[in-house]
Amino acid sequence: MINWIEGGITAPKGFRASGVHAGVKSSNSDKKDLALIVSDCEAAAAAVYTRNRVKAAPIYVTMAHLEDGAATAVVVNSGNANACAPGGAEHASAMCASAAKATGLKASDFIVASTGVIGQELNIAAIEAAMPACAAALSATGSDAAATAIMTTDTKKKELAVEFTVGGKTCRIGAISKGSGMIHPNMGTTLSFVTTDCAITPALLHEALTACVNVSLNRVSIDGDTSTNDMCCVLANGMAENALIDWKNEDYDAFCAALRQLLIEVARSIAADGEGASRLITSHVVGARSEETAERLAKEIICSSLVKAAMFGADANWGRVLCAMGYSKAPFRPEFVDVSFRSCAGEIAVCAAGAGLPFDEALAKQILSQDEIIIEVNVHEGEHACTCWGCDLTYDYVKINGDYRT
């Protein structure tokens, strides 16, 4: 039994958060761009990172700090990715040192992250100057401020929390996340920070995180570009006082189920708020000979620029769906494939056994004009399925990215 609750990353017991304006984004605006998340006690910690060969400096610093499987806090800025940037490693370390000084923790207690433009030097002086205020603002209702402070081109905050039961104890997991460009499967997509008061060992926390990210964040694509800064980390401080989860029993299953459901909603919220997006596109492939096949097919569909542009135009151009499946490198028989489009306005079959069906164009247009579209594909070869999430390709994506730096 999993319940959705308010409070984001401060919903779990013993977590405080804050977000303030430091001036990294711009000294002319008052946009929040620096956030802290602090646990009241040391927490088991795990993270998954971008598989991009070009990794931002904070990724390496965080990897080093998490070697012991423990962390207490997170410091993160938006407005500058601190990737390929002069002084990157020094600045990432300085962020931790500054946060440690302001909070009374150790620098090595911190997970550090940055997001924003690549290749420009981080304004570390602005961050250091704002850190005391950020620490002073830490509060048990600070999730909202932190979620706001990590936004870049996001139009909506991503902040979620769930409540569930482990061994008779109520546990909570909260998450904040940011999109919305340079987002593509096959990594720990984007920056996502997860907190929980559930007691679990670092090893199982890492295993749970990896498994859940693989079926949620790793199944999102906005634009096919895998960022240099992606990270999803989780802090588990044990303050729910459940019996420590230290093997794969039913408590572990309950934790995984909650984490998976939370991260799937995070994934959907990132996809729905993709840069310039006007619709959330879900591709759902069933009947595949393996889960890997289903995943390759479903991902390629949501990654196709042509499918994405057709969805923007509410155009039932299903041939592009088959074309994308065809270059996915996954095995399937084109002559077995059924395709239909579905939304709150109904469902319409457009292709059966690999060939076009006559269909009502007006109804198709109506179905495809909704905020969430599901592309249903049955390859009729087996029992495996996969769901992936993306968005349409719009004029605004081009506009946003034609001049992102200014």
| Residues that bind its own copies in the complex, under the rule CB under 8 A | 51-55, 81, 83-86, 88, 117-121, 181-182, 184, 223-228, 303-306, 309-310, 312-313, 315, 317-320, 322-328, 331-332, 334, 350-351, 354-356, 393-395, 397-406
Nearer Cβ to its own copies, position 120 or 201?
120
Question: Quick check: 377 and 321 in contact, CB under 8 A?
Answer: yes
Nearer Cβ to its own copies, position 167 or 326?
326
d(CA 132, CA 127): 10
Question: Quick check: 121 and 87 in contact, CB under 8 A?
Answer: yes
- In the DSSP assignment, the letter for residue 139 is B
CA atoms within 13 A on the CB side of 387: 13
> How many other C-beta atoms are found inside a 10 Å radius of the C-beta of residue 144?
19
Task: Give the nearest distance from C-beta 378 to its own copies in angstroms.
Answer: 15
Record the tokens describing residue 101, joined without a space.
Answer: 């000084």
Mode of pairing for the β-strands spanning 34-49 and 15-20: antiparallel
Nearer Cβ to its own copies, position 168 or 402?
402
Q: Minimal CA–CA distance to 35: which of 80, 77, 73, 94?
A: 77
Task: Give the nearest distance from C-beta 58 to its own copies in angstroms.
Answer: 15
Task: Give the nearest distance from C-beta 15 to its own copies in angstroms.
Answer: 32
Nearer Cβ to its own copies, position 85 or 220?
85
Q: Is 271 exposed, middle or buried (0-12, 13-18, 19+ CB in 10 A)?
A: buried
Nearer Cβ to its own copies, position 168 or 358?
358
Task: Give the nearest distance from C-beta 365 to its own copies in angstroms.
Answer: 10
Record the tokens describing residue 97, joined without a space.
Answer: 């040192």
Beta strands per DSSP E along 187-334: 191-196, 231-236, 280-288
Task: Give the nearest distance from C-beta 319 to its own copies in angstroms.
Answer: 3
Q: What angle do CA 1, 387, 401 make, to 5 degrees?
A: 115
Task: Give the nearest distance from C-beta 100 to its own copies in angstroms.
Answer: 26
Q: What angle do CA 304, 211, 390 make, to 5 degrees?
A: 20
Of the residues 115, 152, 189, 190, only one is catalytic, namely 189
Instruction: Using the CB atoms, write b or e for 274-283: b if 16+ within 10 Å.
Output: bbbbbbbbbb
Nearer Cβ to its own copies, position 36 or 391?
391
| Annotation says 189 is catalytic | yes
Catalytic positions: 189
